[in-house]
Structure 1
Amino acid sequence: MKKTKHSRAIGLIVLGFLLSAFWFYPFYLVVVNSFKTKAEIFVNTLGLPSEPTLANYSEAFIALDFVRSFFNSLFITVCSIILICLFTSMAAYALSRKSGKTSSIIYFIFAICMLIPFQSIMIPLVSIFGSVDMLNRGGLMTMYLGLGLSLAVFLYFGALRGIPIALDEAAIIDGCNRFQVYWHIIMPMLKSTTVTVIVLNAIWFWNDYLLPSLVINKEGMYTIPLKMFYFFGEYSKQWHLALAALVIAIIPIIVVYMFLQKYIIKGISEGAVK
Protein backbone atom coordinates (compact mmCIF):
# COMPACT_ATOMS: atom_id res chain seq x y z
CA MET A 1 0.00 0.00 0.00
CA LYS A 2 2.81 2.40 0.96
CA LYS A 3 4.70 1.60 -2.25
CA THR A 4 1.58 2.25 -4.30
CA LYS A 5 1.03 5.65 -2.66
CA HIS A 6 4.71 6.50 -3.08
CA SER A 7 4.65 5.57 -6.77
CA ARG A 8 1.47 7.55 -7.29
CA ALA A 9 3.02 10.61 -5.62
CA ILE A 10 6.12 10.35 -7.82
CA GLY A 11 3.93 10.00 -10.90
CA LEU A 12 1.95 13.13 -9.98
CA ILE A 13 5.18 15.08 -9.40
CA VAL A 14 6.56 14.02 -12.78
CA LEU A 15 3.26 14.85 -14.49
CA GLY A 16 3.19 18.26 -12.80
CA PHE A 17 6.75 18.95 -13.88
CA LEU A 18 5.96 18.02 -17.49
CA LEU A 19 2.84 20.17 -17.54
CA SER A 20 4.77 23.09 -16.04
CA ALA A 21 7.53 22.72 -18.63
CA PHE A 22 4.95 22.59 -21.43
CA TRP A 23 3.21 25.68 -20.01
CA PHE A 24 6.39 27.75 -19.64
CA TYR A 25 7.92 26.71 -22.97
CA PRO A 26 6.37 29.60 -24.99
CA PHE A 27 7.51 32.07 -22.32
CA TYR A 28 11.02 30.60 -22.58
CA LEU A 29 11.00 31.15 -26.36
CA VAL A 30 9.90 34.78 -25.95
CA VAL A 31 12.55 35.63 -23.36
CA VAL A 32 15.43 33.78 -25.02
CA ASN A 33 14.75 35.12 -28.51
CA SER A 34 14.37 38.67 -27.22
CA PHE A 35 18.16 38.69 -26.69
CA LYS A 36 18.96 37.55 -30.23
CA THR A 37 19.39 39.40 -33.48
CA LYS A 38 16.74 39.05 -36.16
CA ALA A 39 18.94 36.73 -38.22
CA GLU A 40 19.78 34.46 -35.29
CA ILE A 41 16.11 34.03 -34.39
CA PHE A 42 15.44 32.33 -37.74
CA VAL A 43 18.66 30.31 -37.65
CA ASN A 44 18.53 29.16 -34.02
CA THR A 45 15.03 29.63 -32.61
CA LEU A 46 15.16 27.06 -29.80
CA GLY A 47 18.72 27.49 -28.56
CA LEU A 48 20.27 30.08 -26.29
CA PRO A 49 21.64 33.27 -27.92
CA SER A 50 25.26 33.02 -29.05
CA GLU A 51 25.87 36.71 -28.30
CA PRO A 52 23.10 38.13 -26.08
CA THR A 53 22.26 41.75 -26.79
CA LEU A 54 20.19 44.35 -24.95
CA ALA A 55 19.90 46.56 -28.03
CA ASN A 56 16.51 45.03 -28.81
CA TYR A 57 15.11 46.33 -25.54
CA SER A 58 16.34 49.88 -26.00
CA GLU A 59 15.00 50.01 -29.58
CA ALA A 60 11.68 48.47 -28.56
CA PHE A 61 11.36 50.88 -25.63
CA ILE A 62 11.71 53.84 -27.98
CA ALA A 63 9.52 52.38 -30.73
CA LEU A 64 6.73 51.63 -28.25
CA ASP A 65 6.84 55.18 -26.90
CA PHE A 66 6.73 53.17 -23.71
CA VAL A 67 6.19 55.91 -21.15
CA ARG A 68 3.09 57.27 -22.87
CA SER A 69 1.75 53.84 -23.85
CA PHE A 70 2.33 52.55 -20.32
CA PHE A 71 0.43 55.49 -18.84
CA ASN A 72 -2.47 54.95 -21.27
CA SER A 73 -2.69 51.25 -20.43
CA LEU A 74 -2.34 51.92 -16.71
CA PHE A 75 -4.96 54.69 -16.69
CA ILE A 76 -7.52 52.63 -18.61
CA THR A 77 -6.87 49.48 -16.56
CA VAL A 78 -6.99 51.14 -13.13
CA CYS A 79 -10.04 53.32 -13.84
CA SER A 80 -11.97 50.41 -15.38
CA ILE A 81 -11.18 48.14 -12.42
CA ILE A 82 -12.27 50.80 -9.90
CA LEU A 83 -15.56 51.26 -11.73
CA ILE A 84 -16.18 47.51 -11.96
CA CYS A 85 -15.37 46.80 -8.30
CA LEU A 86 -17.48 49.71 -7.06
CA PHE A 87 -20.62 49.23 -9.17
CA THR A 88 -20.67 45.42 -9.20
CA SER A 89 -20.14 45.06 -5.46
CA MET A 90 -22.98 47.50 -4.78
CA ALA A 91 -25.24 45.73 -7.28
CA ALA A 92 -24.43 42.30 -5.85
CA TYR A 93 -24.99 43.59 -2.30
CA ALA A 94 -28.40 44.95 -3.21
CA LEU A 95 -29.39 41.74 -5.02
CA SER A 96 -28.19 39.49 -2.20
CA ARG A 97 -30.13 41.44 0.45
CA LYS A 98 -33.39 41.60 -1.50
CA SER A 99 -35.53 38.49 -1.56
CA GLY A 100 -38.07 38.08 -4.31
CA LYS A 101 -38.52 37.23 -7.97
CA THR A 102 -37.26 40.59 -9.25
CA SER A 103 -33.80 40.28 -7.68
CA SER A 104 -33.55 36.62 -8.76
CA ILE A 105 -34.44 37.52 -12.36
CA ILE A 106 -31.88 40.36 -12.42
CA TYR A 107 -29.20 38.05 -11.03
CA PHE A 108 -29.92 35.36 -13.62
CA ILE A 109 -29.77 37.99 -16.37
CA PHE A 110 -26.26 38.89 -15.19
CA ALA A 111 -25.31 35.21 -15.12
CA ILE A 112 -26.70 34.54 -18.61
CA CYS A 113 -24.87 37.56 -20.03
CA MET A 114 -21.58 35.77 -19.32
CA LEU A 115 -22.49 33.35 -22.12
CA ILE A 116 -22.80 36.05 -24.78
CA PRO A 117 -19.60 36.21 -26.87
CA PHE A 118 -18.15 39.67 -27.42
CA GLN A 119 -17.77 39.07 -31.15
CA SER A 120 -21.56 38.86 -31.52
CA ILE A 121 -22.09 42.40 -30.19
CA MET A 122 -18.79 43.93 -31.30
CA ILE A 123 -19.94 45.74 -34.44
CA PRO A 124 -23.23 47.22 -33.13
CA LEU A 125 -21.55 48.20 -29.84
CA VAL A 126 -18.76 50.15 -31.53
CA SER A 127 -21.23 51.65 -34.00
CA ILE A 128 -23.50 52.93 -31.22
CA PHE A 129 -20.62 54.42 -29.25
CA GLY A 130 -19.24 56.03 -32.40
CA SER A 131 -22.59 57.59 -33.26
CA VAL A 132 -22.68 59.40 -29.89
CA ASP A 133 -18.98 60.36 -30.09
CA MET A 134 -17.95 58.15 -27.14
CA LEU A 135 -14.81 56.50 -28.43
CA ASN A 136 -11.21 56.48 -27.12
CA ARG A 137 -10.60 56.33 -23.36
CA GLY A 138 -14.07 57.17 -22.06
CA GLY A 139 -15.84 54.82 -24.41
CA LEU A 140 -13.33 52.02 -23.84
CA MET A 141 -13.67 52.20 -20.04
CA THR A 142 -17.48 52.26 -20.33
CA MET A 143 -17.39 49.16 -22.56
CA TYR A 144 -15.07 47.37 -20.15
CA LEU A 145 -17.46 48.18 -17.32
CA GLY A 146 -20.40 46.75 -19.24
CA LEU A 147 -18.54 43.66 -20.42
CA GLY A 148 -17.03 42.94 -16.99
CA LEU A 149 -20.22 43.39 -14.97
CA SER A 150 -21.59 39.87 -15.29
CA LEU A 151 -18.63 37.90 -13.98
CA ALA A 152 -17.91 40.38 -11.18
CA VAL A 153 -21.54 40.41 -10.00
CA PHE A 154 -21.56 36.62 -10.12
CA LEU A 155 -18.44 36.41 -7.92
CA TYR A 156 -19.56 39.08 -5.46
CA PHE A 157 -23.06 37.61 -5.19
CA GLY A 158 -21.68 34.18 -4.33
CA ALA A 159 -19.41 35.67 -1.65
CA LEU A 160 -22.21 37.79 -0.16
CA ARG A 161 -24.46 34.75 0.21
CA GLY A 162 -22.00 33.55 2.85
CA ILE A 163 -22.21 36.77 4.91
CA PRO A 164 -25.19 36.67 7.33
CA ILE A 165 -27.78 39.45 7.14
CA ALA A 166 -27.56 39.66 10.93
CA LEU A 167 -24.39 41.74 10.52
CA ASP A 168 -26.33 44.31 8.49
CA GLU A 169 -29.11 44.43 11.04
CA ALA A 170 -26.67 44.86 13.94
CA ALA A 171 -24.89 47.71 12.14
CA ILE A 172 -28.20 49.43 11.35
CA ILE A 173 -29.23 49.17 15.00
CA ASP A 174 -25.92 50.85 15.90
CA GLY A 175 -26.85 53.79 13.67
CA CYS A 176 -25.31 52.98 10.27
CA ASN A 177 -27.18 53.68 7.05
CA ARG A 178 -27.17 51.25 4.14
CA PHE A 179 -24.14 52.73 2.43
CA GLN A 180 -22.15 52.74 5.66
CA VAL A 181 -23.04 49.10 6.20
CA TYR A 182 -21.89 48.28 2.67
CA TRP A 183 -18.66 50.31 2.81
CA HIS A 184 -17.49 49.73 6.40
CA ILE A 185 -18.86 46.25 7.15
CA ILE A 186 -19.40 44.32 3.93
CA MET A 187 -16.57 45.49 1.66
CA PRO A 188 -13.74 44.60 4.11
CA MET A 189 -15.17 41.08 4.27
CA LEU A 190 -15.08 40.82 0.46
CA LYS A 191 -11.33 41.41 0.21
CA SER A 192 -10.51 38.04 -1.36
CA THR A 193 -13.30 38.39 -3.93
CA THR A 194 -12.26 41.96 -4.74
CA VAL A 195 -8.66 40.89 -5.28
CA THR A 196 -9.85 38.07 -7.56
CA VAL A 197 -11.92 40.54 -9.60
CA ILE A 198 -8.95 42.93 -9.79
CA VAL A 199 -6.51 40.26 -10.98
CA LEU A 200 -8.85 38.75 -13.60
CA ASN A 201 -9.79 42.10 -15.07
CA ALA A 202 -6.29 43.58 -14.88
CA ILE A 203 -4.91 40.74 -16.99
CA TRP A 204 -7.75 41.16 -19.48
CA PHE A 205 -7.58 44.95 -19.79
CA TRP A 206 -3.80 45.16 -19.88
CA ASN A 207 -3.40 42.55 -22.62
CA ASP A 208 -6.51 43.37 -24.68
CA TYR A 209 -5.89 44.30 -28.29
CA LEU A 210 -9.20 43.76 -30.11
CA LEU A 211 -11.46 46.23 -28.31
CA PRO A 212 -8.91 49.09 -28.09
CA SER A 213 -8.13 48.62 -31.79
CA LEU A 214 -11.81 49.25 -32.56
CA VAL A 215 -12.36 52.12 -30.13
CA ILE A 216 -9.12 54.12 -29.89
CA ASN A 217 -8.39 56.25 -32.96
CA LYS A 218 -6.08 58.93 -31.57
CA GLU A 219 -2.33 58.39 -31.75
CA GLY A 220 -1.57 59.76 -28.29
CA MET A 221 -4.02 57.37 -26.60
CA TYR A 222 -2.66 54.07 -27.90
CA THR A 223 -2.13 51.32 -25.32
CA ILE A 224 0.87 48.98 -25.24
CA PRO A 225 -0.87 46.14 -27.19
CA LEU A 226 -1.84 48.62 -29.92
CA LYS A 227 1.70 49.97 -30.17
CA MET A 228 2.97 46.39 -30.50
CA PHE A 229 1.43 46.30 -33.97
CA TYR A 230 4.16 48.74 -35.03
CA PHE A 231 6.60 45.84 -35.34
CA PHE A 232 4.50 43.94 -37.89
CA GLY A 233 4.48 45.77 -41.20
CA GLU A 234 3.06 44.71 -44.54
CA TYR A 235 6.41 43.56 -45.94
CA SER A 236 8.58 42.99 -42.88
CA LYS A 237 8.21 41.70 -39.34
CA GLN A 238 10.70 42.78 -36.69
CA TRP A 239 10.51 39.72 -34.46
CA HIS A 240 13.58 40.62 -32.41
CA LEU A 241 12.00 43.94 -31.37
CA ALA A 242 8.52 42.49 -30.99
CA LEU A 243 9.71 39.79 -28.58
CA ALA A 244 11.67 42.33 -26.53
CA ALA A 245 8.58 44.54 -26.44
CA LEU A 246 6.50 41.57 -25.26
CA VAL A 247 8.83 41.02 -22.32
CA ILE A 248 8.64 44.71 -21.43
CA ALA A 249 4.84 44.65 -21.69
CA ILE A 250 4.26 41.60 -19.49
CA ILE A 251 6.59 42.61 -16.66
CA PRO A 252 4.12 45.11 -15.06
CA ILE A 253 1.22 42.65 -14.99
CA ILE A 254 3.44 39.90 -13.56
CA VAL A 255 4.57 42.28 -10.81
CA VAL A 256 0.94 43.17 -10.03
CA TYR A 257 -0.05 39.50 -9.88
CA MET A 258 2.85 38.57 -7.62
CA PHE A 259 2.04 41.49 -5.32
CA LEU A 260 -1.65 40.61 -5.07
CA GLN A 261 -1.12 36.87 -4.77
CA LYS A 262 -0.40 37.09 -1.03
CA TYR A 263 -3.55 39.15 -0.55
CA ILE A 264 -5.59 36.45 -2.26
CA ILE A 265 -4.21 33.84 0.14
CA LYS A 266 -4.64 36.18 3.11
CA GLY A 267 -8.19 37.04 2.13
CA ILE A 268 -9.15 33.38 1.75
CA SER A 269 -7.62 32.58 5.15
CA GLU A 270 -9.48 35.46 6.83
CA GLY A 271 -12.72 34.37 5.21
CA ALA A 272 -12.21 30.79 6.43
CA VAL A 273 -11.60 32.00 9.99
CA LYS A 274 -14.64 34.26 9.95
Structure 2
Amino acid sequence: MKNGYLRKIGWPALGTILGILFLSPLYIVFANSFKTQKGIFTNVMALPFGEFFTLNNYIEAFTELDFIQSFFNSLLITVSSTIFIVIFASMAAWMLVRTKTKLSTVLFFLFAGAMLIPFQSVMLPLINIMGKLGLLNPVGLVFMYLGFGSSLSIMLYHGFIKNIPVELEEAATIDGCNTFQIFWYIVFPLLKPITVTVCILNIMWIWNDFLLPQLVINRPGWHTIPLKMFYFFGQYSKKWNLALAGLVIAMVPIVIFYFIAQKHIVKGVTQGSIK
Protein backbone atom coordinates (compact mmCIF):
# COMPACT_ATOMS: atom_id res chain seq x y z
CA MET A 1 0.00 0.00 0.00
CA LYS A 2 2.75 2.39 0.97
CA ASN A 3 4.82 1.44 -2.09
CA GLY A 4 1.85 2.03 -4.39
CA TYR A 5 1.17 5.43 -2.82
CA LEU A 6 4.84 6.38 -3.11
CA ARG A 7 4.94 5.34 -6.75
CA LYS A 8 1.75 7.20 -7.71
CA ILE A 9 2.06 10.33 -5.58
CA GLY A 10 5.44 10.57 -3.88
CA TRP A 11 7.88 10.21 -6.77
CA PRO A 12 5.94 12.45 -9.20
CA ALA A 13 5.67 15.11 -6.48
CA LEU A 14 9.39 14.88 -5.76
CA GLY A 15 10.17 15.07 -9.49
CA THR A 16 7.96 18.16 -9.81
CA ILE A 17 9.69 19.90 -6.90
CA LEU A 18 13.15 19.11 -8.28
CA GLY A 19 12.05 20.29 -11.73
CA ILE A 20 10.88 23.61 -10.29
CA LEU A 21 14.17 24.04 -8.41
CA PHE A 22 16.24 23.37 -11.53
CA LEU A 23 14.11 25.63 -13.75
CA SER A 24 13.82 28.52 -11.28
CA PRO A 25 17.15 30.14 -12.31
CA LEU A 26 15.98 30.16 -15.94
CA TYR A 27 12.72 31.78 -14.87
CA ILE A 28 14.58 34.42 -12.86
CA VAL A 29 16.87 35.26 -15.80
CA PHE A 30 14.08 35.36 -18.40
CA ALA A 31 11.53 37.26 -16.28
CA ASN A 32 13.98 39.89 -15.04
CA SER A 33 15.38 40.46 -18.53
CA PHE A 34 12.09 42.29 -19.27
CA LYS A 35 12.22 44.47 -16.14
CA THR A 36 13.74 47.83 -15.44
CA GLN A 37 16.58 48.05 -12.93
CA LYS A 38 14.10 49.33 -10.36
CA GLY A 39 11.73 46.46 -11.07
CA ILE A 40 14.48 43.90 -10.47
CA PHE A 41 15.39 45.42 -7.10
CA THR A 42 11.73 45.74 -6.11
CA ASN A 43 10.82 42.06 -6.55
CA VAL A 44 13.09 39.56 -8.28
CA MET A 45 10.49 36.79 -8.43
CA ALA A 46 7.59 38.89 -9.77
CA LEU A 47 6.43 38.71 -13.37
CA PRO A 48 7.39 41.71 -15.56
CA PHE A 49 4.10 43.63 -15.62
CA GLY A 50 3.08 47.26 -15.46
CA GLU A 51 5.56 50.10 -15.09
CA PHE A 52 8.46 47.68 -14.62
CA PHE A 53 8.02 45.98 -18.01
CA THR A 54 10.33 47.09 -20.84
CA LEU A 55 11.74 45.79 -24.11
CA ASN A 56 14.51 48.38 -24.20
CA ASN A 57 16.80 46.01 -22.28
CA TYR A 58 17.19 43.79 -25.34
CA ILE A 59 17.80 46.72 -27.68
CA GLU A 60 20.44 48.26 -25.41
CA ALA A 61 22.06 44.91 -24.63
CA PHE A 62 22.25 44.04 -28.32
CA THR A 63 23.97 47.37 -29.00
CA GLU A 64 26.37 47.33 -26.03
CA LEU A 65 27.35 43.73 -26.70
CA ASP A 66 28.25 44.71 -30.26
CA PHE A 67 26.42 41.46 -30.81
CA ILE A 68 27.12 40.93 -34.50
CA GLN A 69 30.91 41.20 -34.07
CA SER A 70 30.94 39.29 -30.76
CA PHE A 71 28.72 36.57 -32.21
CA PHE A 72 31.01 36.19 -35.22
CA ASN A 73 34.09 35.97 -32.96
CA SER A 74 32.44 33.34 -30.74
CA LEU A 75 31.18 31.40 -33.75
CA LEU A 76 34.56 31.40 -35.51
CA ILE A 77 36.49 30.28 -32.43
CA THR A 78 33.91 27.68 -31.40
CA VAL A 79 33.48 26.09 -34.83
CA SER A 80 37.22 26.09 -35.61
CA SER A 81 38.14 24.56 -32.26
CA THR A 82 35.44 21.90 -32.49
CA ILE A 83 36.44 20.87 -36.02
CA PHE A 84 40.08 20.44 -34.99
CA ILE A 85 39.09 18.52 -31.84
CA VAL A 86 36.86 16.15 -33.83
CA ILE A 87 39.48 15.45 -36.51
CA PHE A 88 42.51 14.98 -34.27
CA ALA A 89 40.73 13.24 -31.38
CA SER A 90 39.00 10.72 -33.66
CA MET A 91 42.26 9.89 -35.46
CA ALA A 92 44.17 9.56 -32.18
CA ALA A 93 41.48 7.35 -30.63
CA TRP A 94 41.38 5.11 -33.72
CA MET A 95 45.13 4.55 -33.65
CA LEU A 96 45.09 3.90 -29.89
CA VAL A 97 42.38 1.26 -30.33
CA ARG A 98 43.93 -0.47 -33.33
CA THR A 99 47.53 -0.33 -32.10
CA LYS A 100 47.92 -3.09 -29.52
CA THR A 101 51.14 -2.06 -27.78
CA LYS A 102 52.16 -1.00 -24.28
CA LEU A 103 52.86 2.49 -25.58
CA SER A 104 49.30 2.91 -26.85
CA THR A 105 48.00 1.83 -23.43
CA VAL A 106 50.28 4.31 -21.67
CA LEU A 107 49.20 7.12 -24.01
CA PHE A 108 45.53 6.31 -23.44
CA PHE A 109 45.94 6.54 -19.67
CA LEU A 110 47.88 9.79 -20.08
CA PHE A 111 44.95 11.28 -21.96
CA ALA A 112 42.58 9.97 -19.29
CA GLY A 113 44.76 11.37 -16.51
CA ALA A 114 44.96 14.77 -18.21
CA MET A 115 41.26 15.30 -17.46
CA LEU A 116 42.08 15.33 -13.74
CA ILE A 117 44.45 18.32 -14.01
CA PRO A 118 42.68 21.60 -13.10
CA PHE A 119 43.06 24.35 -15.67
CA GLN A 120 43.91 26.86 -12.95
CA SER A 121 47.09 24.93 -12.11
CA VAL A 122 48.51 25.29 -15.61
CA MET A 123 47.02 28.56 -16.88
CA LEU A 124 49.84 30.91 -15.83
CA PRO A 125 52.72 28.80 -17.26
CA LEU A 126 50.62 28.17 -20.37
CA ILE A 127 49.93 31.87 -20.95
CA ASN A 128 53.62 32.64 -20.35
CA ILE A 129 54.74 30.07 -22.95
CA MET A 130 52.10 31.07 -25.50
CA GLY A 131 53.04 34.72 -25.04
CA LYS A 132 56.69 33.97 -25.84
CA LEU A 133 55.54 32.13 -28.96
CA GLY A 134 53.38 35.07 -30.04
CA LEU A 135 50.19 33.04 -29.85
CA LEU A 136 48.08 35.21 -27.56
CA ASN A 137 45.52 35.63 -30.34
CA PRO A 138 42.50 33.70 -31.71
CA VAL A 139 44.80 31.19 -33.45
CA GLY A 140 46.56 30.42 -30.18
CA LEU A 141 43.21 30.18 -28.41
CA VAL A 142 41.98 27.56 -30.89
CA PHE A 143 45.23 25.64 -30.39
CA MET A 144 44.74 25.67 -26.60
CA TYR A 145 41.12 24.51 -26.91
CA LEU A 146 42.39 21.62 -29.02
CA GLY A 147 44.72 20.60 -26.22
CA PHE A 148 42.20 20.96 -23.40
CA GLY A 149 39.31 19.34 -25.31
CA SER A 150 41.15 16.35 -26.75
CA SER A 151 41.30 14.20 -23.60
CA LEU A 152 37.54 13.79 -23.07
CA SER A 153 36.93 13.53 -26.81
CA ILE A 154 39.51 10.76 -27.19
CA MET A 155 37.92 8.88 -24.30
CA LEU A 156 34.50 9.04 -25.96
CA TYR A 157 35.82 8.06 -29.38
CA HIS A 158 37.94 5.26 -27.89
CA GLY A 159 34.95 3.49 -26.38
CA PHE A 160 32.90 3.87 -29.55
CA ILE A 161 35.58 2.66 -31.97
CA LYS A 162 35.91 -0.62 -30.05
CA ASN A 163 32.46 -1.55 -31.42
CA ILE A 164 33.50 -1.13 -35.06
CA PRO A 165 34.47 -4.51 -36.58
CA VAL A 166 38.09 -4.56 -37.64
CA GLU A 167 37.06 -6.76 -40.58
CA LEU A 168 35.71 -3.68 -42.34
CA GLU A 169 39.17 -2.13 -42.29
CA GLU A 170 40.82 -5.37 -43.38
CA ALA A 171 38.45 -5.59 -46.34
CA ALA A 172 39.27 -1.99 -47.30
CA THR A 173 42.99 -2.82 -47.11
CA ILE A 174 42.49 -5.74 -49.49
CA ASP A 175 40.68 -3.37 -51.88
CA GLY A 176 43.77 -1.16 -51.95
CA CYS A 177 42.91 1.60 -49.47
CA ASN A 178 45.75 3.27 -47.57
CA THR A 179 45.59 4.18 -43.87
CA PHE A 180 44.13 7.64 -44.45
CA GLN A 181 41.44 6.32 -46.82
CA ILE A 182 40.48 3.57 -44.38
CA PHE A 183 39.92 6.10 -41.63
CA TRP A 184 38.28 8.86 -43.67
CA TYR A 185 36.01 6.74 -45.89
CA ILE A 186 35.35 3.66 -43.72
CA VAL A 187 35.78 4.49 -40.03
CA PHE A 188 34.91 8.18 -39.72
CA PRO A 189 31.40 7.92 -41.30
CA LEU A 190 30.57 5.23 -38.73
CA LEU A 191 31.47 7.64 -35.91
CA LYS A 192 28.56 10.00 -36.61
CA PRO A 193 26.62 9.41 -33.32
CA ILE A 194 29.64 9.94 -31.08
CA THR A 195 30.92 12.78 -33.28
CA VAL A 196 27.67 14.66 -32.69
CA THR A 197 28.05 14.05 -28.95
CA VAL A 198 31.64 15.33 -29.00
CA CYS A 199 30.54 18.38 -30.99
CA ILE A 200 27.73 19.22 -28.58
CA LEU A 201 29.88 18.91 -25.47
CA ASN A 202 32.74 20.96 -26.89
CA ILE A 203 30.55 23.62 -28.52
CA MET A 204 28.66 24.25 -25.27
CA TRP A 205 31.92 24.43 -23.31
CA ILE A 206 33.82 26.68 -25.73
CA TRP A 207 30.85 28.96 -26.47
CA ASN A 208 30.31 29.69 -22.76
CA ASP A 209 33.97 29.82 -21.72
CA PHE A 210 35.12 33.06 -20.14
CA LEU A 211 38.44 32.48 -18.36
CA LEU A 212 40.63 31.30 -21.24
CA PRO A 213 39.50 34.01 -23.71
CA GLN A 214 39.92 36.56 -20.90
CA LEU A 215 43.57 35.53 -20.57
CA VAL A 216 44.31 35.16 -24.29
CA ILE A 217 42.23 37.51 -26.46
CA ASN A 218 40.98 40.27 -24.15
CA ARG A 219 41.50 42.97 -26.78
CA PRO A 220 39.11 45.22 -28.74
CA GLY A 221 37.79 43.51 -31.84
CA TRP A 222 38.51 40.00 -30.55
CA HIS A 223 35.95 39.82 -27.75
CA THR A 224 33.60 36.86 -27.60
CA ILE A 225 30.08 37.15 -26.15
CA PRO A 226 31.09 36.01 -22.60
CA LEU A 227 33.86 38.63 -22.58
CA LYS A 228 31.45 41.36 -23.67
CA MET A 229 29.00 40.30 -20.93
CA PHE A 230 31.65 41.16 -18.34
CA TYR A 231 31.38 44.86 -19.13
CA PHE A 232 27.85 45.01 -17.74
CA PHE A 233 29.43 44.64 -14.30
CA GLY A 234 31.46 47.69 -13.34
CA GLN A 235 33.37 48.42 -10.15
CA TYR A 236 30.67 50.66 -8.72
CA SER A 237 27.55 49.70 -10.67
CA LYS A 238 26.00 46.61 -12.16
CA LYS A 239 23.53 46.77 -15.05
CA TRP A 240 21.52 43.72 -14.09
CA ASN A 241 18.69 44.47 -16.50
CA LEU A 242 21.05 44.66 -19.48
CA ALA A 243 23.16 41.74 -18.27
CA LEU A 244 20.15 39.43 -18.02
CA ALA A 245 18.83 40.51 -21.41
CA GLY A 246 22.29 39.96 -22.89
CA LEU A 247 22.46 36.55 -21.25
CA VAL A 248 19.18 35.52 -22.89
CA ILE A 249 20.43 36.76 -26.28
CA ALA A 250 23.69 34.83 -25.81
CA MET A 251 21.84 31.64 -24.86
CA VAL A 252 19.53 31.56 -27.87
CA PRO A 253 22.02 30.21 -30.49
CA ILE A 254 23.42 27.47 -28.24
CA VAL A 255 19.98 26.43 -26.99
CA ILE A 256 18.70 26.12 -30.57
CA PHE A 257 21.74 24.03 -31.51
CA TYR A 258 21.33 21.82 -28.43
CA PHE A 259 17.67 21.04 -29.06
CA ILE A 260 18.38 20.18 -32.69
CA ALA A 261 21.17 17.74 -31.81
CA GLN A 262 20.29 16.50 -28.30
CA LYS A 263 18.84 13.15 -29.48
CA HIS A 264 22.32 12.06 -30.54
CA ILE A 265 23.86 12.52 -27.07
CA VAL A 266 22.36 9.48 -25.37
CA LYS A 267 22.73 7.40 -28.52
CA GLY A 268 26.41 8.23 -28.88
CA VAL A 269 27.31 7.72 -25.22
CA THR A 270 25.39 4.46 -24.82
CA GLN A 271 26.79 2.96 -27.99
CA GLY A 272 30.27 3.96 -26.94
CA SER A 273 29.88 2.34 -23.53
CA ILE A 274 29.01 -1.10 -24.88
CA LYS A 275 31.91 -3.33 -25.78
Q: TM-score, normalised by structure 1?
A: 0.94
Give how far 1:265 is off: 5.8
The 1:14–1:222 alpha-carbon spacing in structure 2 relative to 1, beyond 3 Å, is same
| 1:49-198 matched pairs, under 5 angstroms | 49-51=48-50, 52-198=53-199
Amino acid at match of 1:26: P
Q: Secondary structure at the match of 1:168?
A: helix
Deviates more, 1:256-265 or 1:15-24: 256-265
Amino acid at match of 1:22: L
- Write the deviation string for residues 93-138 of structure 1: whole angstroms up to 9, x where unpaired: 0110000101101111101101000000010001110111101201
Amino acid at match of 1:123: L
| 1:225-244 matched pairs, under 5 angstroms | 225-244=226-245
Note the residue ranges of structure 2 that are not aligned, 5 or more in a row: none
Q: TM-score, normalised by structure 2?
A: 0.93
| Number of residue pairs aligned between Structure 1 and Structure 2 | 271
Amino acid at match of 1:122: M
Partner Cα distance (2:68, 2:254) in 1: 15
Residue of structure 2 in register with 1:29 after alignment: 28
Residue of structure 1 in register with 2:16 after alignment: 17
Partner Cα distance (2:196, 2:98) in 1: 22
| CA contact 1:29–1:45 (8 Å) conserved in 2 | yes
Amino acid at match of 1:184: Y
Amino acid at match of 2:226: P
The 1:160–1:5 alpha-carbon spacing in structure 2 relative to 1, beyond 3 Å, is farther
Give how far 1:263 is off: 3.8
Q: Secondary structure at the match of 1:221?
A: coil
Give how far 1:271 is off: 8.4
Amino acid at match of 1:15: L
| CA contact 2:96–2:104 (8 Å) conserved in 1 | yes
| CA contact 1:159–1:190 (8 Å) conserved in 2 | yes
- Write the deviation string for residues 131-166 of structure 1: whole angstroms up to 9, x where unpaired: 111012011111100001110111101111121211
The 1:43–1:25 alpha-carbon spacing in structure 2 relative to 1, beyond 3 Å, is same
Give how far 1:254 is off: 0.3
Partner Cα distance (1:124, 1:271) in 2: 35
Give how far 1:25 is off: 0.5
Give how far 1:264 is off: 3.9
- Write the deviation string for residues 59-81 of structure 1: whole angstroms up to 9, x where unpaired: 00000000000000000000000
| 1:194-209 matched pairs, under 5 angstroms | 194-209=195-210
Matched, 1:222 2:260: no
Matched, 1:42 2:41: yes
| CA contact 1:228–1:245 (8 Å) conserved in 2 | yes
The 1:271–1:93 alpha-carbon spacing in structure 2 relative to 1, beyond 3 Å, is closer
- Write the deviation string for residues 32-77 of structure 1: whole angstroms up to 9, x where unpaired: 0000000110011111112321100000000000000000000000
The 1:154–1:136 alpha-carbon spacing in structure 2 relative to 1, beyond 3 Å, is same
Give how far 1:177 is off: 1.6
RMSD of the TM alignment (CA)? 1.9
Note the residue ranges of structure 1 that are not aligned, 5 or more in a row: none
Residue of structure 1 in register with 2:248 after alignment: 247
Give how far 1:230 is off: 1.3
Deviates more, 1:186-195 or 1:28-37: 186-195
Partner Cα distance (2:41, 2:167) in 1: 65
| CA contact 2:156–2:269 (8 Å) conserved in 1 | no
Partner Cα distance (2:4, 2:96) in 1: 47
The 1:96–1:24 alpha-carbon spacing in structure 2 relative to 1, beyond 3 Å, is same
- Write the deviation string for residues 165-216 of structure 1: whole angstroms up to 9, x where unpaired: 1111112112222211111221122111111111111111011111100001
